[in-house]
Structure 1
């Protein structure tokens, strides 16, 4: 089954769409081997000349071998083959808005930053991945790993906690002249590793379209992991970042050092 997100949802969730659009999904649970990726999941990162679905790890279901000359963040990021039952893509969606959404309320800007494909300006480097579940039809997760100074990383998590409290009633954000609103911002319980973490849910709304979104941000030293999940097949359904995705991502961050 192929999942396609509606254009209004693209405007609301720019970072998530490179995970949701083009990542294949199946109606039956995946076996140990992941089917060959399709759409954006079939293409490697721009400029690499390789396919995310053609490495030995991807074909066998075993974790992909570290890339020669990869940066620390690239080594810390998920690759096809790291998670059985999921397709992982490094290819962005050219039809999705890119950049930092601008919130209508200053106190809510940290939450708006978390919805874009580029984190706040304090981030020194970021690597994005799109993850499509082959076990739960329509479940898509965007994963971003960013490097900060440790003090900036701590400040980011603190600002997110403050923003969740301040923006419970909602806020609007604009990116590339497209505006969406985020309602019912609520802190959510979520167990994960790392030095500290924060998790929340919100309802993204544009026109007559709405989507239930779950976000998790984890700090490990000066590295920050951002995970965003929704169901692109049934956007109104409650979504949650799968525990195995968060655990594997944190495992790779710790292993990368």
Structure 2
């Protein structure tokens, strides 16, 4: 299923102007595939596959290849995938190709945790990160970035402490730079948000770069040694307040628990 027409390459171009919006956000805005449906006829020009020859008697059959599910890492199994949430399109691409890569550097040391969380991973201590883009078909323009990261549990706890301190310290805002692109984050405000994880930090901010501003909501949740990062904005109207849907957060945490 394709996203609505307004979620197009044009949207990519406009939102990419906010250079330091979450680098992982909006992957779902360009979703839509041309995969063959169940009624698609096979290519008549394709040669028929040769019939498999059974192995000689007494020889061991080659092991069956691992299914994608069994071969996937625990973190991959924890990540959202298409079909997990009714009314949402989920992309494994996970990143806007026009967004800069890496970890942004804040102009204020106290605000570095808030700059880090806008990067490719929540902070440099993450061992592995799997990213997804989520586009809502219920709320026009709502796009969410969802990532899961593996940590040493002590590092995950430290990240949450640093984020809480940074939200309290950086209310007036800060600027951050990545790949020579600079943007500002102002009006950093904590926002109450309930999740089923061990602990969470939630806040809103106004991100501005290249003359474009957007309201962004972020939620970071720790479940044991796994960290979930959720970021939302409205790509149809960047000035409109957005919030991470509760059902997206709940489903992500449910998948983490099931993968354990």
Relative to the length of structure 1, the TM-score reads 0.82
Aligned counterparts, 1:51-70, within 5 A: 67-70=69-72
Structure 1 alignment gaps of length 5 or more? 24-37, 44-50, 56-64
Aligned to 1:183: 186
Answer yes or no: is the 8 Å Cα contact 1:17–1:96 preserved in 2.
no
Aligned counterparts, 1:1-257, within 5 A: 1-3=5-7, 4-5=11-12, 6=14, 7-19=16-28, 21-23=29-31, 38=32, 42=33, 67-91=69-93, 92-257=95-260
2:25 alignment partner, SS class:
helix
Distance in 2 (CA, whole Å) between partners of 1:248 and 1:210 is 29
The number of residues matched between the two structures is 222
Structural RMSD (CA): 2.0
Q: Deviations over 1:60-104 (max 9, x none)?
A: xxxxx9723000000000000000110100113322211111111
Q: Deviations over 1:209-232 (max 9, x none)?
A: 110000000001000000000001
Relative to the length of structure 2, the TM-score reads 0.81
Offset at 1:18?
A: 2.2
Aligned to 2:52: none
Offset at 1:10?
A: 4.5
Q: Deviations over 1:134-168 (max 9, x none)?
A: 11111000011001011100000000000001100
Answer yes or no: is the 8 Å Cα contact 2:26–2:135 preserved in 1.
no
Distance in 2 (CA, whole Å) between partners of 1:179 and 1:223 is 30
Offset at 1:11?
A: 4.1
Q: Which structure 1 residue ranges, 4+ long, deviate > 4 Å from structure 2?
A: none
1:154 alignment partner, SS class:
helix
Distance in 2 (CA, whole Å) between partners of 1:172 and 1:18 is 24
Structure 2 alignment gaps of length 5 or more? 39-66
Larger Rg, first or second structure (1 or 2) = 2
